[in-house]
Amino acid sequence: MSAWHGHGLAFAASGLYFLGFAFFKSAAAAMERLDGTHPLHLARSVLASGRWWSGVAFMAAGVACHLAALSRTGPETMTPALLAGLAVLLAVARGVFRERVTGLEWLAFALLLASGVCFAQATRSTWEPPPPAVLPAIAAASFVLPVGLFALGDRRPAGAHARRLSGIAYGICAGVLIGSGELALTLSVRHGLDWTLLTSTAYPYLFAAAVGVGVVQLQIALQRCRMVVLLFIATIVAKIYVLLAGTSPGDPSSWTSGAHLLAGTALLVAAFALVPRFERVPPRPVSRAARARAG
Domain-wise residue ranges, the chain: 2-278
Per-residue confidence (pLDDT) for residue 234, from 0 to 100: 93
Within 10 angstroms of residue 68's Cβ, the number of other Cβ atoms is 17
Mean pLDDT for 272-278 is 77
Which residue from 228, 119, 222 is spatially nearest to 179, judged by alpha carbons?
119
Lowest mean pLDDT among 144-153, 185-194, 238-247: 144-153
With the C-alpha atoms ordered 200, 205, 207, 210, is the resulting torsion angle positive or negative?
Answer: negative
Per-residue confidence (pLDDT) for residue 59, from 0 to 100: 96
Confidence (pTM)? 0.84
Lowest mean pLDDT among 34-38, 67-71, 120-124, 278-282: 278-282
Per-residue confidence (pLDDT) for residue 252, from 0 to 100: 46
- Residue 280 scores a pLDDT above 70: no
Highest mean predicted confidence (pLDDT) among 30-44, 200-214, 235-249: 200-214
- Residue 288 scores a pLDDT above 60: no
pLDDT band at 283 (very low <50, low <70, confident <90, very high): very low
pLDDT band at 161 (very low <50, low <70, confident <90, very high): very low
Q: Give me the phi and psi of 248, to 5 degrees please.
A: -100, 115
pLDDT band at 198 (very low <50, low <70, confident <90, very high): confident
Q: What is the pLDDT of residues 206-245, one digit of tens each?
A: 999 999 988 988 998 899 888 999 999 999 999 999 888 8
